[in-house]
Structure 1
Amino acid sequence: MIKVDNLSYSFPQKDLYNKISFTLEDDQHCAFIGTSGSGKSTLIDIIMDPEKYVFDGTLEIDPNCRIGYVSQFSQLDKIKETTVFEYICEDFIKLQNEIASICAEMETSSDIDTLLIKYQEALEALDAIGGDDFESNLNKKLNLANLNKLKDLTISELSGGQFKLIQVIKEMLNSPHLMIMDEPDVFLDFENLNSLRNLINSHKGIMLVITHNRYLLNHCFNKIIHLENLELQEFDGSYIDYNFSLLQTKIELQELAIADNEEIERNEHIINRLRERAEITGETAAGRYLKGKMKFLERLEARRIKTPFIEIKQPYIRLTTNNPIEETIALKVNDYSVSFDDTLLENINFEIKSNDKVAIIGLNGTGKTTLLRDIFKNNNPAIEIDPHIEIAYLSQLQGEILNESNTILEEFLDAGFKTYEDVESYISNYGFDEEIINQKIGSLSGGEKNILQLAKVSASKSNMLLLDEPISHLDTYSQIALEKAISNYNGAILMISHDYYSIINCVDYVLIIEDKTIRRMSMRKFRKMIYAKYFDKDYLEIEQKKRAVEIKIETALKNTDFELAKVLSEELESLIKLL
């Protein structure tokens, strides 16, 4: 068991946690959720290396606890020419070689006792990671992830998504007591996302996963830890049930809050009248009555319900253009081809109109990002862009667009903002408080960097946006805000996405890359393909109906129509039972 009790921690720029507590027990698969920048990755760092941090409260974890860890950032440089088998089996091979070396040394050494101790320790370490069944377990995991054909390839031959899954398999095969993963789903295509789901659900042991992926959240976890506004709450159950309980609580609390506000307003009016009377007449009784009413008002104010998990600050993402143009061909691609060691794309032809919203889809490693970068650079004769089109680009490699050594203030002054006040006013809409305007961009979370990229893209007022995995790293609230912004944008959008929800909710059609070429696909055919190849049709259709009802509930709450919200809540509950 891992136990965190009354833990508080702060950065110089902001507080992260205020006396948070939770436990993780055997076989719990826990999703760790919360808005971008709330401190999820930092809390994981504290769990993995508590000696490095100065915090209040206690963290109880067995010193012999083996922790498996998969970072949100892949590190390929040092292992590119290692085979997949060698990479996954690194610890296993190392221990086997160590045992062989000790055995060879025993043949000539006089200090057998010391060598026997080393031999026993190495055997125990090998046994701890399932040494006898290691290769059998490896083959099972590779088959589960549909990666069995990759075992003899070098790491450099893998796509980013495939390498992410290989990292997960490596950590799982070392039999950790606690498996931690920080956004392992980022950039995974539909097929690899299903593989990750299978790996998570097959794992025996405690698991703590930071994820914002709605598909994984709905299919993989039996516990939720939600970190928000310095506080944390636990929920034993599925993410779907947790979300429903939050929505029910929100309906109840908003109804109570209106009653409280009316009572506070009525008492404030009485107090004002009593104060005027006491000042005019000087009556002692009036003064005592006034003090009594003021104490009662203080109690009312104090009992105002604090809702850190209900009133979540959602960013206001707005994609705007100063130069919308009448419908025309904004982008034309004729006979485009690209090769590295092998041909990625050949004889590619398509065009995008000035108000089209289009998603490029395809498996990891099929050339989507290369194509988008070439369009942005606009120096390939196969690419033709209308002269009235101004392009802005969001990269999945955030350092390409953001100077991570800049502060937020410096970044936006460099982008053309004139004053501190202009920058502060603008980025506050995106959820950045004034206190962190002088914070280095490199210290922000992945989600905060993507929100900052979106703010910078919007500030450019361009009339065509190239978005490479814009949903990546974003929390679910920001994902929904971005979907609305894309839908409302008065220009052309070409985006790479592996997120089913953002594609369904935002775009007019998709361009699918298969067999080194691109073809246009209607949304109806896209849905049909997704149902046939990747995800359950009933689940996805019910999920879409569920989202529509949730939006209706939000609208009812804005209109303070609590009776309608309660009726819709019952409709929502019936849909959840189907899921």
Structure 2
Amino acid sequence: MIKVDNLSYSFPQKDLYNNISFLLEDGQHCAFIGTSGSGKSTLIDIIMDPERYMFDGKLEMDPNCRIGYVSQFSQLEEIKDTTVYEYIGKEFIKLQNKITSICTEMETSSDIDTLLEKYQEALDAFNSIGGDDFESIINKKLNLANLTKHKDLMVSELSGGEFKLIQVIKEMLNSPDLMIMDEPDVFLDFENLNSLKNLINSHKGTLLIITHNRYLLNHCFNKILHLENTELQEFDGRYIDYKFSLLQTKIELQELAIADSEEIERNAMLINKLRYIATHNPEASKGRSLRARVKIQERLEARRIKEPFVDIKQPNISFDTDNEIEEIIALKVNDYSVAYDEILLENVNFEIKSTDKVALIGSNGTGKTTLLRDIFKNNSDSIEINPDIKMAYLSQHQGETLNESNTILEEFFDAGFKTNGEIISYISNYGFYGEIIDQKIGSLSGGEKNVLQLAKVSASKANMLLLDEPTSHLDTYSQIALEKAIEDYKGAILMISHDYYSIANCMDYVLIIEDKTIRKMSMKKFRRKIYANHFDRDYLEIEQKKKSIETKIELALKDTDFELAKALSEDLEALIKLL
């Protein structure tokens, strides 16, 4: 389907790929992963329109390959006055109308041969997308996504998550040879995420999907492309097996690399000794011994084991507070209601203590973001915030808290930093250094923007954090770093999230929106609810243990304790079998 051979590409300020190669075969479901800003979306752009880019190497693809594409950004505003059926079936309806028009024209035209040719072309295109069975196919896809009842709704009546699924269905029904999706899971609620999983797994064609979603990664793919540090690693198999293979490779390579370094160091010491002897002894044999040893060193350097591929750039996220306080009621919400065209929330009541870590969950479009924004603005009589509480806010709409025309440096001057040195020292912890700090924020990836938001939230030293979808766009390494920061934080957190893992790993309890009100749910009940709908028993606990062992292996490797790393990898393999 696609063959990439030794492809290299650079921006003026950044090298993206260094001789990367991979093969994507017909029918494979491939996850494309890597840290935020590593160039995944750019590589997708190159595949879709190679003529726009000046790259080295080869990209081979059938010139007749039809590509379907789902962007990470919604185009809802462009087609809001269309029904769901009309939007999904646009190509089908267009061909159907064209065939009808040609048939009508045939009744009065004398140029039948030309019209017959046009009729056959239209009919072939009609048949290629399912033709006579098209409406039945639409119904099956909508049913698979649990959206059958939405068929006759206007697109403008859909939530953002529902529209994303409709986009996926539309592209699938056009029967592309290759379907590409860029983070289709962002902002999907639990039910819609499960529907996306079902759509991906039911698709018979070739898929290339950028995603950081751990649920999809564990359940949907039979090939992994991992882009990191300008290099690409290719793995045929499940993501869970790839992660294990990656750690095994790291253990083996790191052990070999250290042995190599030790041998090179010993040889260098011997060269220095021989050089000293040859300098003070004119015998030719001494010079020959030195030259021979230098050649050995050159060979050792040439075959030196490279540092392991899995040297991941993980941000060092931490949330500190200037004003750590005794346990008090930080926030009270009394009889809160909100409505737009219809009532979203009615007579909502809850309170959060200054040490509580709380997840706010509910289906797309139920008013979660509106509530969080109203709490931050503190502009409702129904919201009472303790005067000792200082809040910081992370928005799912990144332009709400970041000025995209600013450079990173300018953004942090605006946030109260005084000097270049102070900013550079601070944001280097979050993975921003070198020329990137002078880039416009608008040119960054979605994940990089979210990490910047997290850096600004941390710099505020607030003792209550309002986080709206903080894991969206984040790579898995940044997600894990965020979870650790939340775990270590001493203040209160109210977090909107559809990420099962972050909620299960970090939160004390859940506030769930159902039937236009909010009720409190213990983590035990939340896990039961999630298991009932999405997981086998104990899945999340096993995932958590797996993550813990992976972290211990990384620490053992950092301390060059290879025996411990190998023993832990056996424990990890046993857990993977349970999953």
Q: Fold-level match, TM-score > 0.5?
A: yes
What residue number does 2:267 align with?
267
Question: 1:247-396 to 2 correspondence within 5 Å?
Answer: 247-278=247-278, 285-307=285-307, 309-396=309-396
Does residue 156 (structure 1) correspond to residue 129 (structure 2)? The answer is no
DSSP 3-state at the match of 1:429? helix
Alpha-carbon distance in structure 1 between the residues aligned to 2:277 and 2:490: 59
Query: What is the identity, as a one-letter code, of the residue corresponding to 2:321?
Result: T
Alpha-carbon distance in structure 1 between the residues aligned to 2:561 and 2:307: 20
What 5-or-longer segments of structure 1 have no aligned partner? none
Alpha-carbon distance in structure 2 between the residues aligned to 1:352 and 1:336: 15
What residue number does 1:240 align with?
240
Matched residue count: 579
CA pair 364-272 structure 1, distance change in 2 beyond 3 A: same
Deviation of the 1:500 alpha carbon? 0.8
- Asked if the contact 2:357/2:493 (under 8 Å) is kept, the reply is yes
1:513-565 per-residue CA deviation (whole Å, 9 max, x = no partner) reads: 11111111111111111112232224333322322322232232233222222
DSSP 3-state at the match of 2:567? helix
1:304-356 per-residue CA deviation (whole Å, 9 max, x = no partner) reads: 32246311221111222222222211111111111111111111111111121
- Asked if the contact 1:34/1:226 (under 8 Å) is kept, the reply is yes
State which drifts further: 428-437 or 368-377: 428-437
What residue number does 1:524 align with?
524
Query: What is the identity, as a one-letter code, of the residue corresponding to 1:486?
Result: I
Does residue 567 (structure 1) correspond to residue 567 (structure 2)? The answer is yes
Alpha-carbon distance in structure 2 between the residues aligned to 1:276 and 1:382: 83
1:86-108 per-residue CA deviation (whole Å, 9 max, x = no partner) reads: 11111111111112222222223
State which drifts further: 492-501 or 274-283: 274-283
1:193-212 per-residue CA deviation (whole Å, 9 max, x = no partner) reads: 11111100000111101111
What residue number does 1:467 align with?
467
- Asked if the contact 1:336/1:383 (under 8 Å) is kept, the reply is yes
Deviation of the 1:263 alpha carbon? 2.6
State which drifts further: 297-306 or 550-559: 297-306
Alpha-carbon distance in structure 1 between the residues aligned to 2:84 and 2:442: 31
CA pair 91-327 structure 1, distance change in 2 beyond 3 A: same
What 5-or-longer segments of structure 2 have no aligned partner? none
Question: 1:422-437 to 2 correspondence within 5 Å?
Answer: 422-437=422-437
- Asked if the contact 2:250/2:308 (under 8 Å) is kept, the reply is no
Does residue 48 (structure 1) correspond to residue 48 (structure 2)? The answer is yes
What residue number does 1:171 align with?
171
Does residue 198 (structure 1) correspond to residue 194 (structure 2)? The answer is no
State which drifts further: 329-338 or 535-544: 535-544
Query: What is the identity, as a one-letter code, of the residue corresponding to 2:70?
Result: V
State which drifts further: 274-283 or 148-157: 274-283
- Alpha carbon RMSD of aligned pairs, Å? 1.7
1:49-75 per-residue CA deviation (whole Å, 9 max, x = no partner) reads: 111112112222222211111111111
Alpha-carbon distance in structure 2 between the residues aligned to 1:246 and 1:510: 35
- Asked if the contact 2:504/2:540 (under 8 Å) is kept, the reply is no
TM-score (norm 1): 0.96
Alpha-carbon distance in structure 2 between the residues aligned to 1:60 and 1:211: 24
Question: 1:218-229 to 2 correspondence within 5 Å?
Answer: 218-229=218-229
What residue number does 1:121 align with?
121
Alpha-carbon distance in structure 2 between the residues aligned to 1:379 and 1:450: 26
- Asked if the contact 1:33/1:211 (under 8 Å) is kept, the reply is yes
Alpha-carbon distance in structure 2 between the residues aligned to 1:350 and 1:304: 61
State which drifts further: 206-215 or 256-265: 256-265
What residue number does 2:450 align with?
450
- Asked if the contact 1:181/1:208 (under 8 Å) is kept, the reply is yes
Question: 1:81-100 to 2 correspondence within 5 Å?
Answer: 81-100=81-100
CA pair 327-559 structure 1, distance change in 2 beyond 3 A: same
Deviation of the 1:284 alpha carbon? 5.6
- Asked if the contact 1:231/1:308 (under 8 Å) is kept, the reply is no
CA pair 278-420 structure 1, distance change in 2 beyond 3 A: farther
Deviation of the 1:279 alpha carbon? 5.0
Deviation of the 1:287 alpha carbon? 4.8
CA pair 276-320 structure 1, distance change in 2 beyond 3 A: farther
Deviation of the 1:282 alpha carbon? 6.6
TM-score (norm 2): 0.96
Alpha-carbon distance in structure 2 between the residues aligned to 1:350 and 1:298: 69
Deviation of the 1:496 alpha carbon? 0.5
DSSP 3-state at the match of 2:430? coil
Query: What is the identity, as a one-letter code, of the residue corresponding to 1:61?
Result: M
Deviation of the 1:303 alpha carbon? 3.2
Alpha-carbon distance in structure 2 between the residues aligned to 1:461 and 1:409: 19
Question: 1:475-490 to 2 correspondence within 5 Å?
Answer: 475-490=475-490
Deviation of the 1:467 alpha carbon? 0.6
What residue number does 1:72 align with?
72
CA pair 380-279 structure 1, distance change in 2 beyond 3 A: farther
Does residue 32 (structure 1) correspond to residue 29 (structure 2)? The answer is no
Alpha-carbon distance in structure 2 between the residues aligned to 1:110 and 1:191: 56
Alpha-carbon distance in structure 1 between the residues aligned to 2:124 and 2:21: 34
- Asked if the contact 1:228/1:308 (under 8 Å) is kept, the reply is no
- Asked if the contact 2:179/2:205 (under 8 Å) is kept, the reply is yes
Deviation of the 1:111 alpha carbon? 2.7
Alpha-carbon distance in structure 2 between the residues aligned to 1:452 and 1:299: 44
State which drifts further: 545-554 or 331-340: 545-554
Alpha-carbon distance in structure 2 between the residues aligned to 1:494 and 1:226: 33
1:372-409 per-residue CA deviation (whole Å, 9 max, x = no partner) reads: 00011111111111112111111111111111111112
What residue number does 1:398 align with?
398
Alpha-carbon distance in structure 2 between the residues aligned to 1:378 and 1:509: 23
DSSP 3-state at the match of 1:474? coil
Query: What is the identity, as a one-letter code, of the residue corresponding to 2:68?
Result: G
What residue number does 2:536 align with?
536
State which drifts further: 294-303 or 87-96: 294-303
Does residue 576 (structure 1) correspond to residue 576 (structure 2)? The answer is yes
Alpha-carbon distance in structure 1 between the residues aligned to 2:293 and 2:414: 55
State which drifts further: 417-426 or 340-349: 417-426
Alpha-carbon distance in structure 2 between the residues aligned to 1:179 and 1:298: 47
Alpha-carbon distance in structure 1 between the residues aligned to 2:558 and 2:78: 53
Alpha-carbon distance in structure 2 between the residues aligned to 1:175 and 1:494: 42
Identity among equivalent positions (%) equals 79
1:152-211 per-residue CA deviation (whole Å, 9 max, x = no partner) reads: 111111111111111101110111110111111111111111111110000011110111
Query: What is the identity, as a one-letter code, of the residue corresponding to 1:182?
Result: D
DSSP 3-state at the match of 2:438? coil
CA pair 490-302 structure 1, distance change in 2 beyond 3 A: farther
